[in-house]
Structure 1
Amino acid sequence: MASCDLDTTPTNYLPSEDAFKTTARCESVLNGTWSSLFTNGSTYASIGLGSIMMNDDFAGSDVVRTTSYGYSSSYSLTNGYGRGEINDMAWDLFYDAINNCNNIIAYIDQAEGSEEDKNIIKGQALATRGYVYMLLATHYSFGVGNEKYANNACVPIYTEPTDLNMALTGKPASTVKDVFQRSLTDLGDAYSLIPDNYNRGINATDQYRIDKTVVKGLLARTNLYAGEWQAAYNYADEAMTAKGKYLMSEEEFKSGFNDATNEEWMWGFSSTLEDNLAAYNFNFKDCTTEGSYYSCFNVDPFFKEKFEDNDYRKDLFRWGANAGYGEWTMLNYKFKFADINNGLGDIILMRVAEMFLIKAEAATHLPGKEGEAQSLLKELRQARLKAGNTAAEVTATGDELREEIWLERRKELWGEGFSLTDLIRNQKSLERKNWSHYVECILNPDGSNSNIPILDENGELTYADDKPESYKKERCTLLQGHIASRTVFPDGSEFEPNSKYYLFRIPEQEELQNANLYTEHPMLPLYN
Structure 2
Amino acid sequence: MKIFAYITMFTSAFLVTSCDLDKFPEGGTVTEDQKNEVIKDDPEKLSSDLNSLKDNMIQFGTISTASTTYHTDYGFPAICLMYDQAGQDMVSDDHGFNWFSDPLTFSDRIPTSSLNTLIWKLHYQHIKSANSILNTLYASYPEAERTGLPANYIGQALASRAFDYLQLIQTYQFTYIGHEESLGLPIITEKTSAEDATNNPRATVKAVYDLIIADLNSAINYLENNPIERSDKGQIDASVAYGLRARANMLLGNYAEAASDADKALIMSNATPYTKEEVSIPSFNNDNHSWIWGSIITSNNDVVTTGIINWPSHLCSLTGNGYTTGTGVYFAMKRINSSLWNQIPETDIRKTWWLDEDKDSPALKKAYGVSGPDIINQTGIPYVSYVNVKFGPQGGELFNTENSQDWPLMRAEEMILIKAEALARSKDVASGKKVLEDFVKSYRDDQYVCSSSSLEDFIDEVWFQRRVELWGEGFSLFDILRLKKPIIRLNTNFADNVTYNDIAPESPIMIYCIPECETSSNKGITLDQINEVAPAPIPVKK
Partner of 1:311: 348
1:483 to 476, 492, 495: 495
Cα distance, 1:37–1:261 mapped onto 2, change above 3 Å: closer
Q: Partner of 2:508 in structure 1?
A: 500
Amino acid at match of 1:382: K
**Is 1:414–2:487 an aligned residue pair?**
no
Does 2:100 correspond to 1:71?
A: yes
Shift of 1:106: 1.5
| Alignment of 1:381 onto 2:440 | yes
For residues 470-524 of structure 1, the C-alpha deviation after alignment (integer angstroms, 9 at most, x for no partner) is: xxxxxxxxxxx20122122xxxx642111222112111232232111259x9454
In structure 2, C-alpha distance between the alignment counterparts of 1:434 and 1:497, rounded to whole Å: 19
Deviates more, 1:394-403 or 1:320-329: 320-329
Mapped partners of 1:52, 1:118: distance in 2: 31
The Cα of 1:324 is off from its aligned counterpart by: 9.4
Give secondary structure in 1 for the equivalent of 2:203: strand
One of 52, 55, 69 as aligned partner of 2:79: 52
Report deviation, 1:260. Answer: 4.4
1:222 alignment partner, one of 248, 254, 259:
248
Structure 1 residue 160 and structure 2 residue 190: aligned?
A: yes
Choose between structure 1 and 2: higher strand proportion: 1
d(CA) in 1 for partners of 2:403, 2:175: 37
In the alignment, what sits opposite 1:185? 214
1:159, CA displacement in angstroms? 1.0
Q: Deviation of residue 157 (structure 1)?
A: 0.5
Q: Which TM-score applies when normalising by structure 1?
A: 0.82
Q: Which residue of the partner structure matches residue 3 of structure 1? A: 9
Distance in 2 between residues matched to 1:232 and 1:120, nearest whole Å: 23
Q: CA 1:83–1:61 in 2, change beyond 3 Å: closer, same or farther?
A: farther
What SS does the aligned partner of 2:506 have? coil
What residue is the counterpart of 1:37 in the other structure?
57
Name the residue aligned to 1:362: 422
2 CA distance for matches of 1:137 and 1:423? 15
Partner amino acid, structure 2, of 1:3? M
Report deviation, 1:27.
2.4
What does residue range 171-320 of structure 1 map to in structure 2 within 5 Å? 171-195=200-224, 198-201=227-230, 206-244=232-270, 246-275=272-301, 277=303, 280-295=310-325, 296-318=333-355, 319=359
Aligned residue for 2:58, secondary structure, equals helix
In the alignment, the residues of structure 1 paired with residue 235 and residue 191 of structure 2 have an alpha-carbon distance, to the nearest angstrom, of 22
How far apart, CA to CA, are the structure 2 residues paired with 1:141 and 1:175? 10
Structure 2: tracts of 5 or more residues without a match = 1-6, 23-31, 65-69, 326-332, 360-371, 536-542
How many residues end up aligned between the 2 structures?
Answer: 469
The answer on whether the counterparts of 2:513 and 2:530 sit within 8 Å (CA) in structure 1 is no
**1:398-436 CA deviation, whole Å, 9 max, x = no partner?**
21111111111101111111011111111111121244x
One-letter amino acid of the counterpart of residue 38, structure 1: I
Aligned counterparts, 1:102-181, within 5 A: 102-111=131-140, 115-145=147-177, 147=178, 149-160=179-190, 163-167=193-197, 169-181=198-210
Q: TM-score, normalised by structure 2?
A: 0.80
Residues 261 and 510 of structure 1: CA distance in aligned 2, closer, same or farther (over 3 Å) = closer
Alpha-carbon deviation of 1:132? 0.4
Following superposition, the deviation at residue 245 of structure 1 comes to 6.3
**Once the two structures are superposed, what CA deviation does each residue of 1:52-109 show, in whole Å capped at 9, x if it has no partner?**
0011111111111145331010111211346522210111111111111112112213
d(CA) in 2 for partners of 1:14, 1:111: 17
The alpha-carbon distance between structure 1 residues 243 and 122, as it changes in their structure 2 partners (threshold 3 A), is closer
* In structure 2, distance between residues paired with 1:81 and 1:420: 17
SS state at 2:430 partner: helix
Letter in 2 for 1:326: P
Q: Which moved more, 1:496-505 or 1:62-71?
A: 62-71
For the residues of structure 1 that align with 2:278 and 2:199, how far apart are their CA atoms? 47
* Unmatched 5+ stretches in structure 1: 436-480
1:365-388 CA-partner distances (Å, limit 9, x unpaired): 21x4321101111112213445xx
Distance 2:243 2:428 in 1: 20
Q: Which residue of 2 aligns with 1:348?
A: 408
User: Which residue of 2 is the match for residue 27 of structure 1?
Assistant: 47
What CA distance in whole angstroms lies between the structure 1 residues aligned with 2:89 and 2:393?
21
Partner secondary structure for residue 349 of structure 1: strand
For residues 20 and 193 of structure 2, what CA distance do their matches in structure 1 show? Answer: 7
Q: Distance in 2 between matches of 1:19 and 1:494?
A: 56
* Structure 1 CA distance for aligned equivalents of residues 343 and 110 of structure 2: 30
In 1: Cα distance, 2:490 partner to 2:273 partner: 32
1:128-164, Cα deviation, whole Å (9 max, x unpaired) = 001101011111100012x2x3311111001126544
State the partner residue of 2:518. 510
